[in-house]
Amino acid sequence: MDKEALKELLNDMSLEEKVMQLVQIPGSEYDSDAEITGIERGQAKDRVKRLAGSTLGIWGSRRLRKIQEEYMKEHPHHIPLMFMLDVIHGHKTVLPCPLGQGATFDPDAVRKGAALQAMEAAADGVHATFSPMADLCRDARWGRIMESTGEDKLLNSFMAAAMVEGYQGGDLKDPAHIDACVKHFAAYGAAEGGRDYNNTELSEHTLREYYLRAYGEAIKKDPAMVMTSFNSINGIPATGSTFLMKKILREEFGFKGVLISDWGAVGELINHGYAKDQKDAALKGMTAGVDIDMCSGCYSGYLEELVKEGAVSHEMLDEAVLRVLNMKNDLGLFEDPFRGLDKESAPVITKEGRLLAREAVAGSLVLLENKEKVLPLKNEKNAFIGPFADTKRLQSSWAFSGEDDNTVSVWEAALEVYGAENIRTAAGCTMFDQDAVTARGIRHLDNWQEENERLLREALETAEWADTVVLCIGEDSTQSGEATSKVSLQLPAVQLKLINEIKKTGKRIVTLIFTGRPLELKEVRELSDALMICWLPGTEGGHGVLDVISGKTSPSGRLPVSFPYTVGQEPLHYDAYPTGRPKPEKGPFEYTSRYLDCENGALYPFGYGLSYTSFEYYDAKLSAEELSANEAITASVRVRNSGNTKGSVTVQLYIRDVTGSRVRPVRELAGFKKISMDPGAEETVSFEIKEEMLRFWTAEEKWESEAGKFLVWICDSSVGGKPLEFSLR
Ligand code: NOJ
C-alpha cells in the first residue's frame, strides 16, 4: 500500500479502531496453547479481541492462519493482526544463548544466526521478534545477563546491530525476514543489587557512555521496534520517561519505528508510584511516546476516553497509529495478511541450520584452563559424568519454540565420536540442591538424599573405570533468564560435592560448565585439569562441545563478561573508572582502593580465553605519535601461531584516555578481530584509530574528544599487553 493510501485508511478508521491498533493482547486470548505467562485467557473483552492490533506468544502457520482468517472477517477495515514472539536465540534450531553468542566475538556468525532464526520463525507465521536485547550487563546476579551479549558497550553494539541486520535483512517484504525489536530501553541491566525489575541509579554520563551505546548502534540499523524497560531510572520509570523516549530515542537516536512497552509495563507505572490509576498510566505512557501497550489493558480501557476528553490529542494518537500501520505495511501485510501462513507443517530443522548452530557452539566455548594439555581428549577411557552429561535440556528458558527432542546431548555426540565401547556416562547427582528456587518454582524431590547417594556411588564406579572424567555441571536453564536474580554465584552444593568426590579418585578432570551467567569458579579451577565454559548451547550443543573437546576444532571463544572470584565483587566490569588511590601492582597496599579479602579484578577477565595452540604477539606499534582530526593512526601487531594446531585468535584493541574533563575508564575495548591461523602462520593485524573513536560525554555535556595523551594496548584480553602511547592534537 502506498503512503497516501495508508493515510486514507487512517482517516477512515473510527477512534476505537485507532486505539486498538495500539493494544497488544496475549496470544492465549486467541489460542489456549500459547506459551506465555501473565494474565489468564479470557480477560480481554470480545471487542478488544476483534480489534487489537497485535498479539504475542503464539506461532504455527495453521494455527495462526485460522486466527487471522477469523480476525480479518470481523475487522471493519480488514487490517491484519500482527503476530509477535520472543525468538531470542532460535526458533526451531536453537543457537547458543545470547551470552554465548557474545563469547564468539564474531558478529558475522551472529548475523547469520539471526537470519536463520528469522527464516524459521517467518515460516511459522511470526512477524516480529522481541530481540535483540542490547542491555549492558555488569552484574552476574541479574539472571537476564544470559540474554545479553555481555558487559562491553562495543561488543554489545556490534552484536545487537548484527542481530537487527540478520532478522530484518535488506527488505522486510522478503518472506524470510521478520521485524526486530531492540530492548529494553533503557538500562534494564543496571538493576540495583542485580534484582530484576529493580530501580537503576545512573549518572547521565554513565548512562550515555555505557548503557545507551548498544541500543543506539542497533537503532542505526533501522529496527521496526524498540521496547521500553521495566525499571525506573533515577526515579522515573522508563516506560513513562519523556527524557528517554522523546529526547534520546526519537530526537537524538532518530528512531522512526514503533515503541512498544514491555509486558504490563504501562500498568506498572501505578506500582512504581508514578501513575495514580490505569487511566493516568495510559496518559503517562502515551505522553512518553509508547505506541503499543503490551498487555496491561490501560490503553484498551482508557485511551479512547483520554482522546475524547482532549488529554491525548488526535495528532498524538494518529502519529502512533500511523507508525503501527506503517510497520504492518513494511511487512507487506496489507497485500498478504497470510504471509508465512500458507505452510501446512512447521518449519523443519535443516542440515545447513544444524551446521551453522554447531559452528556457533564451537565458536562460543571459552577454554579457561588446560593444565598439562589434558584437552583435546585422548582416545582412551573417558567418562562423561554430571547432570549435563546426558541431557537434552541445553537451551535457555527463552527458547520455548525450540524442542528439547531435537537437541543433541553431550553423551549422544560423544557416542558418535568415540563409540559405546570406549566411553561411559553417569548423572553423578541431581541438577538441583534440595528445595532450590527456580523461575518455575521450588524443586523438591522426596527422596533427594537417597537419590544423590545412589548417583554418587554410580559416578565413582564410572570414574574408577576411566582415565579422564569429563564433568558436565552447571546451572539449569530455569536459573537464568527473567526473574532469576541470585545472591550466590556458586554451583549447586550437590554438584560441588560431586567434583570433590571425583577428585579423590585421582583421575584427570575436564570440567565443562553449562551456564547462562558467570559463576564463582575458584574451587572448580583448583579441582580441574581443564575448565571450559559451554553456556547454554542449544540444539547442536553436544556436537559443538565434542568438536572442541575431541580436537576437531580449537576453542576460540572469549569471555564477554568478567567471571568474579566472589559474588561480593559484583557489579564487576573491566572498564572501571580509576580512583584517586589505585591499588599498586606491588605493595604496600594499605589505604589504596582494594578489598582486604579479595583481588579487585576478575578471576577470569573480559576478553580472556585459551586455544589449543599458542599465539605470540610482537612488534606492536603505532604509525604515528600524534593524531589530529580527519586523520587516522594505525595500530598494528604481528601475530604468530606458534603452536602445532590451527586455531583462531581474537586480537583486541584497548584505549585509555589518560586525562579528561571527566575521569575516563582504565581501558575500553576499541576494536577486535577474530582470525584463523595455521600453525607457523604469521600476519599483521591492524586497527585504525580515528578521532571520533575518542569522543566521550564531556563535562560540558557534549560528545567530543579532548586533546592529550592516550594509551593503547593490542593484546589478548582486557588485562593483557603493554601500552603504547600517542597524543591527540
Ligand atoms: C517480558 C520480557 O521482559 C521481554 O523481554 C519479553 O520480550 C516480553 N515479556 C514478551 O514476552
Q: Are residues 453 and 508 in the same domain?
A: yes
Write out the three cell numbers for 203. 549518572
The Cα–Cα gap between 125 and 346 comes to 9
- Mutating to test ligand 1, I would choose from 25, 183, 480 the residue with most ligand atoms within 8 A of its C-beta, which is 183
Q: Is 196 in the pocket of ligand 1 (CB under 6 A)?
A: no
Convert the pLDDT of each residue in 130-171 to its tens digit: 999 999 999 999 999 999 999 999 999 999 999 999 999 999
Q: Are residues 288 and 363 in the same domain?
A: no
Give 291's DSSP letter. -
Q: Is 183 in the pocket of ligand 1 (CB under 6 A)?
A: yes
Q: Are residues 370 and 315 in the same domain?
A: no
Q: Within the chain, which residues score under 50 in pLDDT?
A: 36-41
pLDDT at 39: 44
Write out the three cell numbers for 490. 556458586
User: At 407, which amino acid appears?
Assistant: T
**To 5 degrees, how large is the angle CA 631–CA 654–CA 530?**
150
**Chain-centroid distance, C-alpha 261:** 19
CATH number of the domain at 136, please. 3.20.20.300
Q: Are residues 389 and 538 in the same domain?
A: yes
**Within a domain: 365:** yes
Q: Are residues 42 and 91 in the same domain?
A: yes
Distance 56 CA to ligand 1 centre (A): 10
Strands 225-228 and 181-185: parallel
Q: Residue 419, by phi and psi: left (phi above 0), alpha (psi -120 to 50) or beta?
A: left
Tell me how many domains the chain contains.
3
Write out the three cell numbers for 554. 580449537
The Cα–Cα gap between 235 and 427 comes to 48
**Within a domain: 419:** yes
| Residues forming a β-bridge with 563 | 604
Helix (H) or strand (E) holding 462: helix 448-465
Write out the three cell numbers for 472. 558436565
Helix/strand/coil (H, E, C) string of 565-601? CCHHHCCCCCCCCCCCCCCCCCCCCCCCCCCCCCCCC
Is 547 annotated as catalytic?
no
**Ligand 1 closest atom vs CA 130:** 7
Q: Hey, whose CA ends up nearest to atom 3 of ligand 1?
A: 262
Q: Which residues contact 541 (CB under 8 A, 6 or more apart)?
A: 96, 361, 394, 395, 407, 408, 409, 410, 534
Write out the three cell numbers for 658. 589518560
What dihedral angle (degrees, nearest 10) is formed by the CA atoms of 506, 512, 517, 520?
A: 10
**Domain C-terminal end among 278, 313, 330:** 330
pLDDT at 384: 98
Q: Are residues 326 and 363 in the same domain?
A: no
pLDDT at 41: 46
Q: Are residues 365 and 323 in the same domain?
A: no
**Ligand 1 closest atom vs CA 57:** 11
Count of Cβ atoms closer than 10 Å to residue 115 Cβ:
20
**Within a domain: 604:** no
**Domain C-terminal end among 504, 539, 569:** 569
Q: Which residues contact 448 (CB under 8 A, 6 or more apart)?
A: 430, 434
Strand, helix or coil for residue 275 = coil
Q: Is 86 in the pocket of ligand 1 (CB under 6 A)?
A: yes
Q: In terms of Cα–Cα distance, which of 217, 132, 235, 118 is closest to 174?
A: 118
Q: In terms of Cα–Cα distance, which of 258, 518, 196, 535 is closest to 395?
A: 535
pLDDT at 342: 83
Count of Cβ atoms closer than 10 Å to residue 104 Cβ:
30
The Cα–Cα gap between 713 and 705 comes to 19
Annotate 82-102 with DSSP letters as a single string.
EEEE--SSBSSSB---HHHHH
Q: Which residues contact 640 (CB under 8 A, 6 or more apart)?
A: 615, 616, 618, 680, 681, 682
Write out the three cell numbers for 287. 505522553
Annotate 99-128 with DSSP letters as a single string.
HHHHHTT-HHHHHHHHHHHHHHHHTTT--E
The Cα–Cα gap between 231 and 234 comes to 10
Stated pTM of the model: 0.97
Distance 516 CA to ligand 1 centre (A): 17
- Mutating to test ligand 1, I would choose from 482, 484, 485 the residue with most ligand atoms within 8 A of its C-beta, which is 482
**Domain C-terminal end among 535, 569, 603:** 569
**Within a domain: 575:** no
Q: Determine whether 695 is exposed, middle or buried from the number of CB atoms within 10 Å of its CB (0-12, 13-18, 19+).
A: middle
Helix (H) or strand (E) holding 215: helix 213-219
Write out the three cell numbers for 517. 551467567
Q: Hey, whose CA ends up nearest to atom 11 of ligand 1?
A: 86
CATH number of the domain at 691, please. 2.60.40.10
Q: In terms of Cα–Cα distance, which of 133, 177, 276, 157 is closest to 220?
A: 157
**Within a domain: 30:** yes
Q: Is 130 in the pocket of ligand 1 (CB under 6 A)?
A: yes
Write out the three cell numbers for 509. 578432570
| 322 half-sphere exposure, CB direction, 13 A CA radius | 17
**Within a domain: 161:** yes
Distance 300 CA to ligand 1 centre (A): 20
Is omega for the bond preceding 571 within 30 degrees of 0, making it cis?
A: yes
User: At 520, which amino acid appears?
Assistant: E
Q: Is 475 in the pocket of ligand 1 (CB under 6 A)?
A: no
pLDDT at 37: 44
Distance 261 CA to ligand 1 centre (A): 9
Residue 289 and residue 256 in contact, taking contact as beta carbons nearer than 8 Å: no
User: At 429, which amino acid appears?
Assistant: C
Q: Which residues contact 327 (CB under 8 A, 6 or more apart)?
A: 82, 179, 224, 225, 257, 258
Q: Are residues 322 and 374 in the same domain?
A: no
The Cα–Cα gap between 83 and 64 comes to 8
**Within a domain: 662:** yes
Q: Are residues 15 and 164 in the same domain?
A: yes
Q: In terms of Cα–Cα distance, which of 90, 95, 153 is closest to 401?
A: 90
**Cα radius of gyration (the chain):** 26
**Within a domain: 338:** no
| Residues forming a β-bridge with 425 | 384
CATH number of the domain at 507, please. 3.40.50.1700
The Cα–Cα gap between 188 and 177 comes to 27
Distance 197 CA to ligand 1 centre (A): 12
Q: Are residues 232 and 108 in the same domain?
A: yes
Q: Hey, whose CA ends up nearest to atom 7 of ligand 1?
A: 130
The boundaries of the domain holding residue 707 are: 615-728
Give 306's DSSP letter. H
Task: Determine which one of 106, 124, 262, 529 is catalytic.
Answer: 262
pLDDT at 36: 46
pLDDT at 40: 45
Q: Are residues 119 and 209 in the same domain?
A: yes
Q: Are residues 311 and 206 in the same domain?
A: yes
Distance 150 CA to ligand 1 centre (A): 19
